[in-house]
Amino acid sequence: MDDFDYSGLPPLDLIAGVDEAGRGCLAGPVVAGAVILPLDFALPGLDDSKKLTAKKRTCLESSIKKQALAWSLGLAWPREIEAINILRASLVAMRRAVLSLRVPPAFVLVDGNQKIPFSLPQQFVIGGDAKVPCIAAASIMAKTFRDRLMTHLDRRYPGYGLARHKGYGTKEHRDALRTLGPCIQHRMTFRGVGPDVGPKERELCLPGLGQ
């Protein structure tokens, strides 16, 4: 962690890290986290959220909330994902997260290979959630919130197993879709959910699986 070259960038306490969770799911929103860490943060075990256990993520989430100079979340729900495609919806969620920070950042580091559609100075970092602490913290905030949200949605929309697979396209989830059909939380433009779409729409809707 933290083998990133900060040359030419503002100090860490002026930089927001941004990441998303749920991009590759068949159901539920895509959730983005944004975090500004202090210079003297102490978060032992901080890493890409996908590499951590649920228990470790929860512990780190609590520490991040206590130590962060600012943190926030941004969401894009299924109807918006369907309207503008998942890639754009993920960037919109990231934009919402950054603009909701109570401390405006001087610079933004974004996980992935796309920039957020706004005028703030920024840089994308491929694999940033495993390299940059503030991005890793953002990935944890997004993942833990989304997992809790999907557990809540499982109670509102029972039968799909949302609390277990969190909306990903597991066999259990696809079998439930065939039996029950989709609910309002499903992304109808994703293959295997609604009526099949052509190659162009499928390419737009599924540019990558994310976390």
Q: Residue for token digits 């990231």?
A: 94
| Per-residue confidence band for 205, with pLDDT thresholds at 50, 70 and 90 | very low
- Secondary structure class of 159 (helix, strand, coil): coil
| Per-residue confidence band for 4, with pLDDT thresholds at 50, 70 and 90 | confident
Report all structural domains of the chain as residue ranges with CATH numbers, in order of start.
12-205 (3.30.420.10)
pLDDT tens digit string along 84-101? 999 999 999 999 999 999
Q: Which residues contact 116 (CB under 8 A, 6 or more apart)?
A: 18, 91, 94, 95, 98, 108, 110, 122
Give the pLDDT mean for 5-23. Answer: 96
Above pLDDT 70, what percent of the chain?
A: 91
Nearest C-alpha neighbor of 19 from the set 117, 148, 116, 106: 116
Please check the confidence at residue 44 and state whether its pLDDT lies above 90.
yes
pLDDT tens digit string along 131-154? 999 999 999 999 999 999 999 999
**What pLDDT score does 194 carry?**
73
Q: Say which range, 20-29, 104-113, 192-201, has the weakest mean pLDDT.
A: 192-201
Q: What would the two tokens of residue 19 be?
A: 């990441």
Q: Looking at the chain, list the stretches that DSSP marks H as alpha helix, in order from N- to C-terminal side.
A: 54-67, 78-84, 86-99, 133-156, 162-165, 171-180, 199-205
Above pLDDT 90, what percent of the chain?
A: 88
Q: Say which range, 103-107, 158-162, 205-209, has the weakest mean pLDDT.
A: 205-209
Mean pLDDT of the chain: 92
Please check the confidence at residue 192 and state whether its pLDDT lies above 90.
no
CA dihedral over 154, 22, 170, 60, signed as positive or negative: negative
CA dihedral over 73, 18, 27, 166, signed as positive or negative: negative
